């Protein structure tokens, strides 16, 4: 029976994805004006068929890399006139292909204790959402999928089998370099107001998204955009040894890193600046070879910032305005205080998943030293989880973070995976800073941290192959990060 299932699994995957695409097309047709449900179903099935056709010849690593790139547009496909969430189809195809091929090759994902805790956390959150009647609501549902999150945990599960070889990891790293070039250029174009060069054009629409006027990219939020560019910088640093003997390509990759660093500055988002700086410094301090590069990196950073302030029109005024702006600080203080009062009111099980936006109003208070301007928006992921899931859910979430993200960073990894471990330290710190100062609901940022952690977990447990290139051991390349 197992052999029969393995032989039929590609056909079953084909039928399943086509049907899912058709259903998604029908659902999307109701949200897009003028789109006939039948046409939507045809489009959905065509996309599904094309996706599964690609599965026959493409590596799961390539599919998942494409999915990560497409996820920067997650939630905004309708703004581009595309009724189908291409990123979610690609993620589903990548996960399914990795699982099917691992079963076929009898190298399925290794189930660890952290996976059972992840499953328990998701089931707990689903039960909480069902109890509070938010399971079918759009925002709580996608927060459950992307932020908590069901999809990131699946990526963590399959990353060790999808990116088990140096070649597969190289696909992801190079893909993120191209993504970094795109995000960095868009950040630059936004900052210099070259709106005709910004793509997609919905980025220029100030009626959608938030943080308009700052480099917010396809996310429509500057913090998520800055964190994504930092991830791409880390990936670019990992690829530098790939280009030994190719100075032009190496210079291009360094250029992408500089572009992303400038883009982070252009986001005018303080938590991104702080998270990126702390993440890079701690990662370099974690490796003896990299410590000697810290003074040079500090000098280069200061020169780059001074140069940007001198040559980019209006940047200094924008930075001064942002650093002196206290309104966002007041919003965070107010929402954090409200979340703590909610935890005090219902400490064990919380108010229910997705209920902060509706149940937090009575828990806001007017402080004596700062105003109350906005309500019902959580600016702190741990506190919002505590308010909605209670201390039980918060404790489970923290244990999952410690086992899934923190534990893989401890101690040296095999030489080929050591750069990924150091990069994980950097992006995990940046992610955690962002999580404590924003809702962090964006798919890419949550996908990447867990996918990256899964790669490091798998690499630490897999003995380095004798076929891995020697350049993979050159940790000092991370100094540019």
Is residue 9 over pLDDT 60?
A: no
Local confidence band at 295 (pLDDT 50, 70, 90 cut-offs): confident
Local confidence band at 310 (pLDDT 50, 70, 90 cut-offs): confident
Q: Could you give the CA distance from residue 42 to residue 64 in angstroms, rounded to a whole number?
A: 24
Structure confidence at residue 467 (pLDDT): 42
Mean pLDDT of the chain: 86
Is residue 167 over pLDDT 90?
A: yes
| Terminal C-alpha separation, the chain | 50
Q: Please give the angle made by the CA atoms of 140, 141 and 144, to the nearest 5 degrees.
A: 85
Is residue 5 over pLDDT 80?
A: no
Mean pLDDT of 119-148: 95
Is residue 38 over pLDDT 50?
A: yes
Is residue 406 over pLDDT 70?
A: yes
Structure confidence at residue 42 (pLDDT): 62
Q: How far is CA 438 from the centre of its chain?
A: 14
Structure confidence at residue 303 (pLDDT): 82
Structure confidence at residue 435 (pLDDT): 95
Closest CA to 389 of 29, 67, 140: 140
Mean pLDDT of 100-108: 76
Handedness of CA 391, 434, 481, 456 (dihedral sign): positive
Structure confidence at residue 479 (pLDDT): 37
- Give the other-Cβ count within 10 Å of 8's Cβ: 11
Structure confidence at residue 447 (pLDDT): 98
Is residue 326 over pLDDT 50?
A: yes
Local confidence band at 260 (pLDDT 50, 70, 90 cut-offs): very high
Is residue 322 over pLDDT 90?
A: no
Closest CA to 270 of 321, 306, 235, 232: 321
Local confidence band at 199 (pLDDT 50, 70, 90 cut-offs): very high
Structure confidence at residue 246 (pLDDT): 92
Local confidence band at 1 (pLDDT 50, 70, 90 cut-offs): very low
Give a three-class secondary structure readout of the chain: CHHHHHHHHHHHHHHHHHHHHHHHHHHHHCCCCCCCHHHHHHHHHHHHHHHHHHHHHCCHHHHHHHHHHHHHHCCCCHHHCCCCCHHHHHHHHHHHHHHHHHHHCCCCCCCCHHHHHHHHHHHHHHHHHHHCCCCCCHHHHHHHHHHHCHHHHHHHHHHHHHCCCHHHHHHHHHHHHHHHHHHHHHHHHHHCCCHHHCCCHHHHCCCCCCCCCCCCHHHCCHHHHHHHHHHHHHHHHHHHHHHCCCHHHHHHHHHHHHHHHHHHHHCCCHHHHHHHHHHHHHHHHCCHHHHCCHHHHHHHHHHHHHHHHHHCCCHHHHHHHHHHCCHHHHHHHHHHHHHHHHHHHCCCCCCCCCCHHHHCHHHCCCCCCCCCCCCCCCCCHHHHHHHHHHHHHHHHHHHHHHHHHHHHHCCCCCCCCHHHHHHHHHHHHHHHHHHCCCCCCCHHHHHHHHHHHHHHHHHHHCCCCCCCCHHHHCHHHHHHC
Structure confidence at residue 427 (pLDDT): 98
């Amino acid at each position: 029976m197992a052999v029969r299932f393995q032989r039929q699994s590609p056909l079953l995957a084909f039928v399943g994805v086509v049907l899912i695409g058709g259903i998604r097309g029908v659902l999307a047709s109701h949200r897009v004006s003028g789109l006939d449900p039948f046409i939507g179903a045809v489009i959905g099935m065509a996309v599904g068929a094309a996706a599964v056709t690609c599965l026959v010849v493409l590596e799961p690593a390539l599919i998942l890399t494409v999915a990560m790139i497409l996820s920067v547009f997650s939630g905004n496909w309708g703004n581009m006139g595309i009724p189908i969430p291409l990123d979610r189809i690609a993620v589903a195809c990548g996960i399914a292909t990795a699982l099917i091929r691992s079963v076929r090759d009898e190298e399925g994902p290794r189930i660890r204790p952290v996976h059972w805790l992840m499953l328990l956390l998701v089931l707990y959150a689903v039960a909480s959402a069902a109890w509070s009647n938010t399971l079918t609501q759009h925002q709580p549902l996608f927060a459950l999928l992307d932020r908590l999150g069901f999809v990131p945990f699946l990526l963590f599960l399959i990353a060790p089998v999808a990116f088990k070889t140096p070649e597969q990891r190289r696909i992801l790293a190079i893909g993120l370099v191209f993504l970094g070039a795109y995000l960095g250029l868009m950040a630059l174009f936004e900052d210099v107001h070259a709106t005709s060069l910004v793509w997609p054009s919905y980025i220029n629409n100030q009626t959608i998204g938030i943080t308009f006027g700052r480099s917010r990219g396809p996310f429509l939020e500057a913090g998520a955009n800055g964190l994504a560019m930092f991830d791409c910088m880390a990936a670019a640093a990992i690829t530098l040894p790939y280009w030994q003997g190719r100075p032009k390509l190496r210079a291009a990759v360094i250029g992408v890193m500089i572009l992303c660093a400038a883009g982070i500055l252009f986001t005018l988002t303080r938590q991104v600046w702080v998270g990126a700086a702390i993440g890079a410094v701690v990662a370099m301090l974690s490796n003896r070879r990299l410590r000697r590069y810290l003074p040079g990196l500090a000098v280069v950073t200061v020169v780059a910032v001074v140069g940007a302030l001198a040559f980019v029109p209006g940047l200094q005024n924008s930075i001064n305005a942002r650093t002196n702006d206290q309104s966002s600080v007041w919003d965070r203080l107010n929402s954090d205080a409200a979340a703590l009062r909610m935890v005090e009111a219902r400490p064990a099980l919380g108010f229910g998943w997705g209920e902060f936006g509706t149940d937090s109003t009575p828990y806001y208070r007017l402080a004596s030293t700062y105003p109350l301007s906005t309500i019902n928006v959580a600016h702190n992921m741990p506190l919002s989880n505590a308010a909605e899931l209670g201390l039980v859910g918060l404790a489970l979430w923290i244990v999952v973070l410690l086992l899934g993200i923190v534990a893989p960073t401890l101690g040296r990894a095999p030489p080929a995976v050591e750069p990924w471990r150091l990069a994980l330290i950097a992006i995990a710190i940046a992610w955690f800073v962002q999580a404590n100062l924003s809702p962090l609901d964006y798919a890419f940022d949550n996908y990447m941290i867990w996918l990256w952690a899964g790669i490091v977990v798998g690499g630490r447990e897999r003995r380095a192959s004798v076929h891995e290139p020697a350049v993979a051991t050159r940790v000092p390349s991370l100094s540019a990060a």
